[in-house]
Amino acid sequence: SQAQPTRRGALIVVEGLDRAGKSSQCEMLRDSLWQKGSPVKYIRFPDRTTPIGKLIDSYLRGSSHQDDHSIHLLFSANRWEVAKSIEDEIASGTTVIVDRYSYSGVVYSAAKANPTLSLEWAWQPEIGLPRPDICLFLSISPEEAAKRGGFGVERYENEPMQTRVRQLFSTVFERQEDVSIIDAGRSITEVALQIQATVSDCIEHMDATAPLRKLE
Ligand code: NYM
Ligand code: MG
pLDDT tens, 6-22?
799 999 999 999 889 99
Of all protein residues, the one whose alpha carbon is nearest to atom 4 of ligand 1 is 108
Q: Evaluate whether 94 touches 66 at the Cβ level (below 8 Å).
A: no
Pocket test for ligand 1, best of 108, 164, 166 (most atoms within 8 A of CB): 108
Residues touching ligand 1 (Cβ under 6 Å) are 18, 45-46, 60, 75, 100, 104-105, 108, 156
Taking residues 185-210, report their average pLDDT. Answer: 96
Q: Evaluate whether 173 touches 193 at the Cβ level (below 8 Å).
A: no
Q: Is the pLDDT of residue 3 over 80?
A: no
The reported pLDDT for the residue numbered 93 is 96
Residue 92 C-alpha from the chain's centroid: 21
Taking residues 94-111, report their average pLDDT. Answer: 98
pLDDT band at 67 (very low <50, low <70, confident <90, very high): very high
The reported pLDDT for the residue numbered 62 is 97
- Coil vs helix vs strand at 7: coil
Of all protein residues, the one whose alpha carbon is nearest to atom 21 of ligand 1 is 46
Q: Is the pLDDT of residue 181 over 90?
A: yes
Of 214, 213, 212, 215, residue with least CA distance to 93: 212
